[in-house]
Structure 1
Amino acid sequence: MPSVGRVASTPQVKTASLDESAWFCPQEVRILVADDDRGVCQLIQQSLARPSFRIEIAPSAAEAKEKLASQPYHLIILDYVLPGWEANEALEYIRQQQPDAAVIVITGYPSLEGVVSCLRARVYDYLTKPFDMQQLESVVHRCLQHKGLLRMTEEALLERLGAFIRERRKALGLTLAQMSERTGVSLGYLSQIELGKNSASIETLYRICLGFGIRMSELFAAIDRPEGS
């Protein structure tokens, strides 16, 4: 929960730590940044720039309304205090014009009332200024993944799956041979899976999870997560 009070308004720049080579967008992602500070709009636009992103800015309420009414967006990054547009009115307008869009609210005037309003409007996240670009990129990353607009590459998925299985096995103090005996999966196959060089069938993953004493949902939750989240 953000603290209440006025805070500095300028986002801070930090280099992102996300491994972008492990993720891809299956389609063009349309993003609108609405903030009355044009410098903030441009900074966010530049920081989020990706080949698969089409990012537009709206430095005024009038321009934001016009863009929202004329074309669809997947994600809207909205300044909670936009002159000439009351926050609740803006959120309701977005809900009516862009019902499928996700909304991330940014504000230099955090308040309990604002947080509650955003929760009611089902805003994806609420960031207080100053925030660094790495933080915003991480939130955007999670949001797009949640909407199915950002997916892990097959190679990265296999590597992450293998790493999880290897680390879990070692944490239990098991050798590959012991894990093989416990699961009924061949030693060579297990080794290839841990190295991320071979995919595992659902049956094999089920056996591995039984060997670890965990549910398959725990395994999937562990690997299907952006870095930095």
Structure 2
Amino acid sequence: MVLLRRMIGEALRRRRQDQHRTLREVSSAARVSLGYLSEVERGQKEASSELLASICDALGVRLADLLREVSDDVELAELATETPRVGAPMVVSARPPAPMVDRAA
């Protein structure tokens, strides 16, 4: 099962680490306790929209961009764990099929 709070936490941690910033730096800028930010990043706490906006602001990231990234991650995780339904089309590859070659000619 995909947990949204875990996916949001992972996305926030990636952004923070990409900026080579510490939890302390971001928690101070976001005006949230270091321990709480750590729990949000680990997916142990569900952050409110106000808190997410504050953390995103501290990271210089638009909330919409973070949520779009998380939405994409959730979709991939769901597709990876989805069991095919009977009668449902199954997508194996996004590439077009190879052209048919007549070997008898």
Q: Is the 8 A contact 2:9 2:42 kept in 1?
A: yes
More strand by share: 1
Question: CA RMSD for the aligned pairs?
Answer: 1.5
Give the corresponding residue for 2:55.
Answer: 208
Give the corresponding residue for 1:77.
Answer: none
Q: Where in structure 1 do 4 or more consecutive aligned residues deviate above 2 Å?
A: none
Instruction: Return the index of the structure with the highest Cα Rg.
Output: 1
More helix by share: 2
Q: What amino acid is aligned across from residue 201 of structure 1 in structure 2?
A: S
Q: How does 1:76-225 map to 2 (within 5 A)?
A: 156-225=3-72
The higher-RCO structure (CA 8 Å, 6+ apart) is 2
**What is the TM-score when the length of structure 2 is the normalising length?**
0.67
**What is the TM-score when the length of structure 1 is the normalising length?**
0.32
| 2:73 aligned with 1:227 | no
Count of residues paired in the alignment: 76
Q: Is the 8 A contact 2:40 2:46 kept in 1?
A: yes
Structure 2: state its 5+ residue gaps.
80-105
1:202 is displaced (CA, Å) by 1.1
